[in-house]
């Protein structure tokens, strides 16, 4: 049986972090979030991390050559030999092509889109009640996400790799749908 190699897409507030943690445990593969890696580098205060923080704070994308090095190195770690759940990468068509090259003989099994309608994630985020989370700011971030992600969803759809998973429901319900989606791809 082939290893579980997935890319996971989902809006902020869609529950991706929680669900990735569950999938990671179930399948024994690491959850690799490029955003988390960059934030950890920023917190560590390395020159690289500080530069990355500047870029993230400006709302820009970290340059591709930097991202490629980061991801290639991470995927070469022993824990990723059996598979990986990639979150936040790829974000561009170019990154998607490079990912295929990095994965080589062990290609992606699927690209999962954890779909939660915009109105529901806005409600969830407003309920969390962070001061800077005005509805307008949230909508702006979600629009940006959609603009960035739509071409990638199309890219994976055209290759027959895209799997839409309904992200509305209890944590348990959504987890079961994700496992069913993964199992359907494995068999």
Binding site for ligand AMP (CB under 6 A): 34-35, 38, 55-56, 60-62, 67, 88-89, 91, 95
Q: Does the annotation count 74 as an active-site position? A: no
Q: How far apart are alpha carbons 118 and 121 in whole angstroms?
A: 5
Q: How far apart are alpha carbons 90 and 94 in whole angstroms?
A: 8
The residue (of 29 and 98) whose beta carbon lies closer to ligand AMP is: 98
Nearest approach in angstroms of CB 38 to ligand AMP is: 5
Nearest approach in angstroms of CB 56 to ligand AMP is: 4
From 11, 16, 74, 177, active-site residue = 16
The residue (of 1 and 147) whose beta carbon lies closer to ligand AMP is: 147
Cβ-proximal residue to ligand AMP, closest one: 35
Question: Helix, strand or coil for residue 86?
Answer: strand
Q: How far apart are alpha carbons 51 and 23 in whole angstroms?
A: 32
Q: Residue 79 belongs to what H/E stretch?
A: none
Between the alpha carbon of residue 28 and those of residues 4, 20, 68, 103, the distances in Å are: 9, 11, 24, 18
From 39, 124, 141, 185, active-site residue = 141
Q: How far apart are alpha carbons 148 and 34 in whole angstroms?
A: 15
Q: Does the annotation count 130 as an active-site position? A: yes
Q: Does the annotation count 5 as an active-site position? A: no
Between the alpha carbon of residue 34 and those of residues 39, 63, 108, the distances in Å are: 9, 13, 17
Nearest approach in angstroms of CB 59 to ligand AMP is: 6
From 130, 139, 140, 186, active-site residue = 130
The residue (of 38 and 182) whose beta carbon lies closer to ligand AMP is: 38
Q: How many CA atoms lie within 13 A of 23 on its CB side?
A: 32
Q: Does the annotation count 16 as an active-site position? A: yes
Nearest approach in angstroms of CB 139 to ligand AMP is: 16
Q: How far apart are alpha carbons 133 and 142 in whole angstroms?
A: 12
Q: Does the annotation count 11 as an active-site position? A: no
The residue (of 139 and 186) whose beta carbon lies closer to ligand AMP is: 139
Q: What are the catalytic residues?
A: 16, 91, 128, 130, 141
């Amino acid at each position: 049986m082939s290893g579980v190699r997935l890319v996971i897409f989902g809006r902020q507030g869609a529950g991706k972090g929680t669900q990735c943690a569950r999938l990671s445990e179930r399948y024994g593969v690491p959850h690799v979030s490029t955003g988390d890696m960059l934030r950890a580098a920023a917190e560590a205060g390395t020159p690289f991390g500080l530069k990355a923080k500047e870029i993230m704070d400006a709302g820009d994308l970290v340059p591709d050559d930097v991202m490629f090095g980061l991801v290639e190195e991470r995927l070469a770690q022993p824990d990723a030999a059996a598979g990986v759940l990639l979150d936040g990468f790829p974000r561009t068509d170019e990154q998607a092509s490079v990912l295929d090259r990095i994965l080589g003989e062990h290609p992606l099994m699927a690209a999962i889109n954890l779909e939660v309608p915009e109105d529901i994630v806005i409600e969830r985020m407003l309920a969390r009640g962070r001061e800077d989370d005005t509805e307008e700011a949230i909508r702006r971030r979600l629009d940006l996400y959609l603009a960035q992600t739509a071409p990638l969803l199309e890219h994976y759809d055209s290759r027959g790799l895209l799997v839409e998973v309904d992200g509305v429901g209890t944590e348990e319900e959504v987890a079961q749908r994700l496992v069913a989606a993964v199992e359907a791809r494995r068999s």
